[in-house]
Amino acid sequence: MATVVVVGGGPAGLMAAEAAMTAGATVELYDVMPSVGRKFLLAGKGGLNLSHSEPMEPFLSRYGTHRALIEPAIRSFPPAALRTWTLGLGVETFVGTSGRIFPVDLKAAPLLRAWLRRLRQAGVQFHIRHRWCGWDQEGSLLFTTPYGPVHAKADAVVLALGGGSWPHFGSDGTWVSILSERKIPIAPLKPANCGFDVQWSEHFRTKFAGYPVKTVEVTVKTVDGIVTRHRGEFVITANGVEGGVIYMVSAAARNVIAAEGTVTLWVDLVPDRTLQRLTKDFAEPRGKRTVATHLKRCAGIAGVKAGLLRDVLSKDVPADPVRLAAVIKSLPITLIAPRPLEEAISTAGGVSFDALDRRLMLRSFPGVFCAGEMLDWEAPTGGYLLTGCLATGRLTGRAAAEWADEHCV
């Protein structure tokens, strides 16, 4: 029987192993960590968002400029199929009010446990604490282990080595140099769905780090001049900002910073009130009320929002109702740098799709396939990441088994 080796036991690698096994191959899975699926478990900590229920067209548009490349994988394993697959593991899912798809208990651990049990019963062999280092002179895969080097022969290989964020969970991006040395085009790894640095005052940072800023609308202009607006929440950090709505604008913000040095986010602190209404409310005579009381009474702005307003305006909050309303509807926050890749939710960049054929096989290395976050695509949070990883894992697992079957000696 043909042997498929899968390197990387994240969701993409585990799905590749399952698909290759189902297609009739013998499957050996290697991972550097003492156990597999660590980042998947981490993703479950905040509520495992597996996918999204929106129609296919807007769903695919979330992959932006990389859409065409990832589309075949997702069309062959769309969100509905993903839900059926999880149900097959005994895990029911539900659609949240935002349209996002979650397991009913929101956790990753029960799903991973059931999945690993099924893979082991089907015969997938797991080799943990094996760090992939490339190929030896005979063309076998080379691993370092606590017990010395290991050489593994394979009829086909799926590399599913992840991106470069949260490296202590296993995916540390060391594969970049291995593949670059072999002249495989790789777009530099960059933080995606990440936080950003802002120059807060010491007072604001000390008082409000960790505070959520709810509900706002954030506007950003992309490098191409396209204006996008997103509603949500974010969190003040000691260094700047992070969280939901920041992740939504993070790709655009990161690219503008790379091109121009900084980027301005325009934050509407009271998105449910019109500018006219706010201006009218502020025009009410203030009397003996303090500015803080006036802000709270007329616009509900207090606490962290009031602190943010003062910090951004260097305490110079305008008295004029027209100017005050305008700045509250569009507070400029300057982001100076994305937080480092290690802290990001996901990774942009990776193995260029130019290097791959439609089956995601490396053109210059027939029989070697790539899946998951190590590919050059990015998407916002909302379940698009795991769907992309699982779908590319499934596509490559099947294709690797077919390739191995045709070429094994």
Sheet strand arrangement including 131-135: 131-135, 141-145, 148-152
195 binds ligand FAD per the rule CB under 6 A:
no
Whole-number Å distance between alpha carbons of 157 and 144: 17
Asked if residue 119 binds ligand FAD (CB under 6 A), the reply is no
Nearer to ligand FAD, 26 or 171 (CB): 171
12 near ligand FAD, rule: CB under 6 A = yes
- Residue from 170, 338, 349, 380 touching ligand FAD (CB under 6 A): that is 170
Site string for ligand FAD, 297-336 (x = CB under 6 A): ----------------------------------------
Taking CB under 6 A as the criterion, the residue among 74, 160, 176, 325 binding ligand FAD is 160
Cβ-in-10-Å burial (0-12, 13-18, 19+) of 191 comes to buried
Number of residues in contact with ligand FAD under rule CB under 6 A: 39
Is 95 within 8 Å of 79 (Cβ atoms)? no
Among 11, 164, 191, 367, binds ligand FAD (CB under 6 A): 11
* 33 binds ligand FAD, rule: CB under 6 A: yes
| Smallest separation, CB 43 to ligand FAD (Å) | 3
By CB under 6 A, residue 40 contacts ligand FAD: yes
* Backbone torsions φ then ψ of 145, nearest 5 degrees: -135, 170
- The nearer residue to ligand FAD, 15 or 267, going by C-beta atoms, is 15
Considering the complex, state which of residue 50 and residue 218 has its C-beta at the smaller distance from ligand FAD. Answer: 50
Task: Give strand ranges (E) for 269-343.
Answer: 331-335, 337-338
Considering the rule CB under 6 A, would residue 164 count as an interface residue with ligand FAD? Answer: no
Nearest distance in Å: CB 388, ligand FAD: 8
Q: Is residue 257 near ligand FAD by the rule CB under 6 A?
A: no
List C-alpha distances in Å: 168 to 173, 343, 387: 11, 11, 23
Which one, 311 or 378, has the nearer CB to ligand FAD?
378
Please, are residues 349 and 187 in contact by the beta-carbon 8 Å criterion?
Answer: yes
At its nearest, how many Å lie between ligand FAD and the CB of residue 409?
A: 26
The reply on whether position 389 binds ligand FAD by CB under 6 A is: yes
The region of 1-9, 77-85, 112-120, 303-311 touching ligand FAD under the rule CB under 6 A is 1-9
- Does residue 131 bind ligand FAD (CB under 6 A)? yes
Under rule CB under 6 A, residue 161 binds ligand FAD: yes
388 close to 160: Cβ distance less than 8 angstroms: no
3-state secondary structure labels for all residues of 31-89: CCCCCCCHHHHHHHHCCCCCEECCCHHHHHHCCHHHHHHHHHHHHHCCHHHHHHHHHHC
Q: How far is the CB of 1 from ligand FAD (least distance, A)?
A: 24
Three-state SS at 311 = helix
Q: Which is nearer to ligand FAD, 31 or 402 (CB)?
A: 31
Question: DSSP strand E in 60-204: where?
Answer: 93-95, 100-103, 125-127, 131-135, 141-145, 148-152, 156-159, 186-192, 196-197
Whole-number Cα distances in Å, 32 to 13, 174, 175, 197, 205: 13, 11, 12, 32, 38
Q: How many residues does the chain have?
A: 409
Nearer to ligand FAD, 144 or 219 (CB): 144
Q: Which helix (H) or strand (E) holds 222?
A: none
**Residue type for 267, please?**
V
**Stretch touching ligand FAD by CB under 6 A, among 4-12, 74-82, 211-219, 315-323:** 4-12
SS (H, E, C) 239-286: CEEECHHHHHHHHHHHHHHHHHCCEEEEEECCCCCCHHHHHHHHHCCC
Binding to ligand FAD by CB under 6 A, coded x per residue (else -) over 353-372, reads: -------------------x
C-beta closer to ligand FAD: residue 158 or 198: 158
Binding site for ligand FAD (CB under 6 A): 7-13, 30-33, 36, 38-40, 42-43, 46, 48-49, 131-132, 160-162, 165-166, 170-171, 174-175, 345-346, 372-373, 383, 385-386, 389
